[in-house]
Amino acid sequence: MMTSLIGNRAGQRLGNYQLKRLVGRGGFAEVYLGEHVYLQTLTAVKVLSIQLTQEDQAGFLNEARTIAHLKHPNILSLLEFGVQEGVPFLVMDYAPHGSLREHYRQQTNLTPIKVLPHIKQIATALQYAHQEHTIHRDIKPENILLGPNGEALLSDFGMALGTQSSRTQDMQEIAGTVAYMAPELLQGRPTPASDQYALGIVLYEWLSGNTPFHGSFTEIASQHLLAQPPAIQAPSVSPEVEAVIMRALAKKPEERFENILAFAEAFEQAALEVDETFKAATGWMPPGVLQQIKTAPSIERQPTLRENTPQPASTRPSTAHQKLPSTKIVRGRKVLSRGLGIALIILALLVATSGIALAAFSFNAGRSNNNPQRGTQAQPQVQANAAIWQNTYTRVTSQKPFFSDPLSRNTNGWDNAAAKTRSCLFADGAYHASSLTPYALALCGSSKLPDNLSNIGYQVQMNILQGDEGGLVFRVTLPSSTQVRAYVFSINRHGTYDLWVINGHYKTLLYRSSKAIHTGLNKPNLLCVIAQGSQIALYINKQYVASVIDTSATTGALGLFARGLPSTTDVAFSKLTVWRL
């Protein structure tokens, strides 16, 4: 039989690894920061809090060998394993950025768009493991770690190796796991669909702020077996997204998706349905934003995007003689993004010094469930003839620019100050837009750029030094004190890009991944938008990625921005160029 062994082993040596300090403790094991005694490389050493019999040692070693053969970009590598004086241990890659339990905190309503990249990464890793005939059996936020580029890394395969066959397992030890356990797993019959159920619980928790079932171990287990999960009461969750999650949480494995990758793909499709992404009631704002409005100071004594007197739209003849390719229009509905809600609020703060009362700002936060407003807005379609758009980029960027700025120092009246939640500052030869608190957005502009730019090519190099996301804004206008219009083109370090539009309401025009993006931190990316009339084309690192037709905003100012959801973010910008078309 196995006996429990709980204690601090810092300073001890297991195999070729010196245990430096305790970094975590759970019901099954303790995790130490370890160092290879010869290579001096840092690792994570998981020491199981049990002592195995000879019979149990054989089972542990067999399972560990199976898991050690799993090689996938989203699975934490098992480097070494063994049993020393009856105590089993595992040596894994060290993930210094912690787990998604720390990154996505409980009681926080995340949006489907926000968690989509990690859900896809986890599902891809699990699909690979299932094809290798391995079931994880312990999917929960604590067992999903963050890699060096923010990618999800699955750890702890096998739900504490060597313990499941134990005749002495204490049910209290899995109290933290039971919230995610599929009915058949509780009955001792795990299948690959058990991992799908657990990932469905994780997704339910991220979107609603909590797991569906609560109580003692017995009460939670009983609810898994008999009770239906409560409806997800979160404004960011459409009926389509909720239906996908509920199917993954079906009591019978055969009633779930065919496999876990099919679950992730169905979730992606539902999340990216532009006309069903958000079902917020009018006036809804993300938690904490109202307090942010009341307390966040504006960036004072600096010109803002709207401090200059608006000029008439340019009547200069267009220099673009080549006809731009057409883009199909598809009809759809209004939609709100939490991030763009914050963008409007911060833009309101930036223009507050212009005498526009902050209290006057109100906005339509999407559709109500009883008034879908079908067919009111144009939706995008990828331009089939990418070659024509690529040629357009070459033609536009070969012209003499209307405005250029290396952004190495402030020679063109850029915002250059810091506030409590955000900053726009020149440092280290670049222009930094920084979101200094979670959910804040830094929007930076120049007083020397006109605020009536319409047909333009607009390009800038950006480098995410810390955090999540950054990009450019264009056609920013305030036609009245109750509305703002703007387009926002951004990329994040995980490899996706967005095009949003604000026009009294908020709409996702595009949300896609692209191999053109250099992922990770400290990786420069060149963003460019070519806007002429209603046609807008997007380019990343000189490569055409998508085009849309939209008439929400026709003219306005330019800017740069960074936002953190939920991390603080610092984006360095350089090599800004504008062409008039």
Same domain, 80 and 109: no
448 occurs within a structural domain: yes
CATH number at residue 250: 1.10.510.10
Q: What is the pTM of this model?
A: 0.51
Where a domain ends, among 94, 114, 148? 94
Give the number of other Cβ atoms within 10 Å of residue 495's Cβ: 18
Domain count, the chain: 3
CATH number at residue 76: 3.30.200.20
Confidence of residue 282 (pLDDT cuts 50, 70, 90): very low
Confidence of residue 393 (pLDDT cuts 50, 70, 90): very high
Task: Give the domain extent around 90.
Answer: 1-94
Give the CA dihedral 348, 353, 356, 357, nearest 10 degrees: 80
Task: Give the span between the Cα atoms of 17 and 8, in whole angstroms.
Answer: 15
- Nearest alpha-carbon partner for 165 in 304, 86, 62: 62
pLDDT of residue 27: 62
370 occurs within a structural domain: no
Residue 259 above 70 pLDDT? Answer: yes
Confidence of residue 529 (pLDDT cuts 50, 70, 90): very high
pLDDT of residue 274: 42
Same domain, 116 and 50: no
Same domain, 475 and 489: yes
Looking up tokens 């440092």 gives 427
Looking up tokens 């009547």 gives 315
Active site residue 56: no
Same domain, 344 and 247: no
Q: Are 27 and 133 in contact (CB under 8 A)?
A: no
Residue 374 above 80 pLDDT? Answer: no
Confidence of residue 505 (pLDDT cuts 50, 70, 90): low
140 is in an annotated binding site: no
**Secondary structure element (H or E) that encloses residue 475, with its range:** strand 469-480
For residue 566, whether the previous peptide bond is cis, meaning omega lies within 30 degrees of 0, is yes
Same domain, 430 and 557: yes
| Average pLDDT over the chain, rounded to an integer | 76
Task: Give the span between the Cα atoms of 554 and 306, in whole angstroms.
Answer: 16
Looking up tokens 């357009």 gives 392
State the alpha helices, DSSP H only, in 310-382. 338-351
Q: What is the pLDDT of residues 295-307, one digit of tens each?
A: 333 322 222 222 2
Q: What is the pLDDT of residues 333-352, one digit of tens each?
A: 233 233 333 444 444 343 33
279 occurs within a structural domain: no
283 occurs within a structural domain: no
CATH number at residue 446: 2.60.120.560
- Considering the candidates 138, 405, 415, 451, report the single residue annotated as catalytic: 138
Residue 19 above 50 pLDDT? Answer: yes
pLDDT of residue 144: 92
Same domain, 399 and 493: yes
Q: Does 423 or 504 have the greater pLDDT score? A: 423
Residue 87 above 90 pLDDT? Answer: no
Q: What's at 402, amino acid-wise?
A: F
Q: What angle do helix axes 260-271 and 239-248 make, rounded to 10 degrees?
A: 170
Task: Give the span between the Cα atoms of 289 and 439, in whole angstroms.
Answer: 8
Tell me the DSSP string of 193-245.
HHHHHHHHHHHHHHHHSS-S--SSHHHHHHHHHHPPPPP---TT--HHHHHHH
Looking up tokens 């995007």 gives 305
Same domain, 257 and 335: no
Task: Give the span between the Cα atoms of 302 and 298, in whole angstroms.
Answer: 10
Same domain, 32 and 112: no
Q: Which DSSP state fits 368? A: B
pLDDT of residue 203: 96
CA separation (Å) from 374 to 379, 384, 509? 12, 26, 16
Q: What is the pLDDT of residues 143-193, one digit of tens each?
A: 899 888 888 999 887 544 444 433 334 444 455 689 999 999 999 899 999
Task: Give the span between the Cα atoms of 150 and 454, in whole angstroms.
Answer: 36
